[in-house]
Amino acid sequence: MKLKVVQVGNPAFPRYAIITECKVYFRNDGVWTPNQNKAALYASLSVAKDDWKRLQAEMETGLVELTGTLLVRVFGAGELTTARVEELARYLSEASSFTLDYKKPRPSWLEKAVVSCQLIWDLKPKK
């Protein structure tokens, strides 16, 4: 999972926030929020970068990856050769997006967790 520091608010009085690749902001109390208005704001870019480095290191050491199953059905495309399946995977990778609704209540044990989902289009015929 990737974090970055972004400038928010009035450019004349820059403030900085830490955000994940799935647009969830750090609140500075260990909780992450999709609401930019609740994000921790840093007046100093160097302080924000220090927290970014610390958080990125924590995420890399505590990261758990889970895999699931994605079913893709294609009708009316004729024979699906290996080349066509590879082309379909490239198309799906470029044309699709997957997001979570962070406004939905989550279990309490996930309150301080950051959850990011990514679709990996490694297509194989179903057996």
Write out pLDDT tens, residues 26-42.
Answer: 988 878 888 889 899 99
Report DSSP letters for 15-70, one per residue.
EEEEEETTS-EE-SSS-EES-GGGS--BS-HHHHHHHHHHHHHHHHHS--------
Quick check: is 90 in a domain?
no
pLDDT tens per residue across span 67-96? 888 888 888 888 888 899 999 999 998 888
Enclosing domain of residue 8: 3-61
Tokens of 119: 């679709």
Query: Band of the pLDDT at 47, cuts 50, 70, 90?
Result: very high
Quick check: is 125 in a domain?
no
The number of domains in the chain is: 1
Quick check: is 78 in a domain?
no
- Cα separation, 30 vs 112, in Å, equals 6
- Cα separation, 8 vs 18, in Å, equals 10
**Residue labelled with tokens 């009035």:** 10
Quick check: is 18 in a domain?
yes
Quick check: is 7 in a domain?
yes
Quick check: is 31 in a domain?
yes
Q: Can you give the pLDDT at residue 124?
A: 82
Quick check: is 30 in a domain?
yes
Quick check: is 22 in a domain?
yes
